[in-house]
Structure formats: C-alpha cells, structure tokens
Amino acid sequence: MPEITDLSTIEYRNTSLQEHPIGKNVAQKFWEDRLRDNLNESGTGCSGIGLQFNRWLYRLRAHRFRQILTGLTIDPDKTRVLDVGSGAGFYIRQWRLQGVRQLEGLDFSKSSVGYLQAAYPECTFHLADVTDPDLAVPSARYDIITAFDVLFHIVDDEDYRAALNNLCRMLKPGGVLIFSENFTHHEHARGGNYHYSRTLLQIGSMLEEAGLQLDCRRPMFILMNAPDDSTSRLLHACWRRVRFIAQRGEMFGWIMGAILYPVDRMLTVLLNESPTTEIAVCQRQGERVDDQVSG
C-alpha cells in the first residue's frame, strides 16, 4: 500500500477575506465535491465545456509537457518527482510514461488521494494543502516539482506566497519547478472565488521572494482557453463562440476540439507568448543547470 500523510486536521488561516470573501475550507469543499463526482478531465479541467473538449485540452497539455521535458536532464531511476494538485492523476500518468520511479503526489482532496492510492500503489501520496505554512513534507527532497493548473486557483496573495515558499523549500538546491499560470501583462486581473489571474510582474516578484528563479515561459494554449492576457475583442469573441459550441453537447465539444487542437499545437511552438495559460520553468536559487529548455 502507498503511504498517505493524513493532514486533514489542518487549521485554516483566515487571511484577506475582505478582498476574496471565500475561506480555504470553502474552496477545499468545492474541489472535494467536484472531484468526488468527476475524477476525470471534466472534473479537473475547464468547467462547463464538457468531457470531450476537455480531453482535447489535455491532449495538448500532454504534448506541451513532453516538449518542456526535452530540455531537462531526467534520470528515470534517480530523479525524485512531486506532482502538486494531482487531482485525477493526469500528470502522475505523464510522469509514469516517462519511466520515473520515485514519484509522489500531493492534493488536499481526500477523493483525489483515495483514488490515486488505489490506481498507483507504487507511488506515495500526501493529503495536504500546499498553502499550509506548516506543511509536513521534508525539505530539499525533490529534484522536480510540477504544479499544473494549481496556483491560479489560490486567490489569496499570502496563501500564494506560502505555496511558493513550500515549493521552494521542498526542492533540492538547483531543483526545478514546472508550473502553469496566466502571467497577465495588464492590471485587470480576472478574479473569482476559485480563480485569480496575477500579472507577470506580481508572480515574478513572489517567485524571487521565495527563492525561485524564473528561467522560461512557454505557451500551454493559444486559442483553446480563455484569453485572460488579451484585450483583443476578437479573441474574446472567438473564445465565447468556442464555449457556446462545446456546451451544446459532447459531440460538438469533440468536433470543436478536433478542429482547434492541431492549430493550437502548431501555434504553441511558433509563438513565445500566449494570450492564455503558459508553462513556466523555475529553479531553486543557489545552483543553476546548464540545460536550455526548448519548445
């Protein structure tokens, strides 16, 4: 049986609730309920657009993930990896396909950890909140940490800082953090109860405070997600149309994804900036790796 670190008795702090009137316990319940009923691409992906369109989104995520890894030196037998916000296990599967043996996951959803425990008995999973300042995971343990589609769901800035501090602390010196964010270039950050888009400047400053050096950013999507980092009326109108069609039913979502996937796959390689989600690669400051990330 895999090891589960049960930190379900975490005492949640109550910070900056005037700006974001939702406590972490409420956010945890939201994700617990969502994942309990949908431990698949629909439960962890974009809400309201169906399973089939989300599956196309995850195909592109997998493609971009593999491209990012081509720029890193990974020994499947020796590299210790932690996947934060494991959800339904998509990136656990991606790491397993890479042959990584020392693989661990972390999520604050009991539904997620229970499912992953049964699905991947060879791995170790931690039931924990990455924003907890007393996170009970050993320091300097991991060579690589991934945190995809996690950080922009942390709406409170202090919790965001705590998460980055924890991620840095858990990395070995010179270790690599790979995560996704929206990195907006303007100040009209889109916020909500469960989603908050920060600017590139804000994120860069918080990364530096935590001891993480941002080495590169690459597009995750171009057309297949909400263009939070764009003021183009045309792009926003296109995304509204995509959502409208995908919401008509799973067949329509599949067709729309099949049309957009090859276009987005090409554009994510050709363009250096994205109007929506990007993948970032950081290193824990102190040591640098000579490898250059490609793609």
Helices 157-170 and 200-210, packing angle to 10 deg:
50
Read off the pLDDT band of 21 (50, 70, 90).
very low
Q: Are 12 and 23 in contact (CB under 8 A)?
A: yes
- Residue 11: the pLDDT is 28
Q: Are 199 and 206 in contact (CB under 8 A)?
A: no
In this predicted structure, the answer to whether residue 7 has a pLDDT above a threshold of 50 is no
- Residue 124: the pLDDT is 93
| Max avg pLDDT among 31-35, 135-139, 269-273 | 269-273
Between 7 and 233, the higher pLDDT residue: 233
Mean of pLDDT values over 36-48: 79
pLDDT in tens, 136-172: 888 899 999 999 999 999 989 999 999 999 999 999 9
In this predicted structure, the answer to whether residue 206 has a pLDDT above a threshold of 90 is yes
**Tokens at 239, concatenated:** 């995304």
**Length of the chain (residues):** 295
Rounded to the nearest 5°, which phi and psi values hold at 221? -135, 165
Q: Could you tell me the pTM of the whole model?
A: 0.87
Task: Work out the number of other CB atoms within 10 angstroms of the CB of residue 232.
Answer: 10
Give the strand order in the sheet containing 142-147. Answer: 4-6, 124-127, 102-107, 80-84, 142-147, 171-181, 278-284, 212-219
Percentage, residues of the chain above pLDDT 70? 86
Find all residues with CB under 8 Å of 278, minimum gap 6, and list them.
180, 181, 182, 183, 217, 218, 219, 220
Mean of pLDDT values over 118-138: 92
In this predicted structure, the answer to whether residue 13 has a pLDDT above a threshold of 50 is no
In this predicted structure, the answer to whether residue 241 has a pLDDT above a threshold of 60 is yes
